[in-house]
Amino acid sequence: MRMTALLVAVVYSSAAFAQDRPAAPAAKPAAQAKPKSAPAKPRPQSLAARLQACLEIDDATKERLNCYDAVITPAPKPKPPAVKGVMDCRYVKEEDERLACFNGFVEKLPKLPAG
């Protein structure tokens, strides 16, 4: 019985001594360290969000068409295919028709949450 009590006292005391000393911090390689003042990269906006941002520009203007064209690069074709989606608007050659095509699709998109 005394041996058991002595053994328990030794085990618990050594565990208590091990908890008193903080562990030495592990050294990190310098290549993995990131500077704290580095700005966070902005998240890329979705295609829909970028197209909806064009709606803030006055309607039926060259600036709004330029905004749409910056998001979806135009690729006019002499005989454009039937327009089934917003990506097909880039094939429309006439600027007024292309603007109307983009407006028709983008105005129907549900409003995305800001941020």
Cα 99 from Cα 59, distance rounded (Å): 9
**35-82 tens-digit pLDDT:** 566 566 677 889 999 999 999 999 999 999 999 999 999 998 888 889
Does residue 93 contact residue 76 with C-beta atoms inside 8 Å?
yes
pLDDT of residue 11: 62
When pLDDT is averaged across residues 18-45 and rounded to a whole number, the result is 62
pLDDT of residue 70: 96
Cα 18 from Cα 48, distance rounded (Å): 58
pLDDT of residue 44: 80
The pLDDT confidence band at residue 111, using thresholds 50, 70 and 90, is: confident
SS3 letters for 48-104?
HHHHHHHCCCCCCCHHHHHHHHHHCCCCCCCCCCCCCCHHHHHHCCCHHHHHHHHHH
Cα 80 from Cα 95, distance rounded (Å): 13
Burial class (CB in 10 A: 0-12, 13-18, 19+), 50: middle
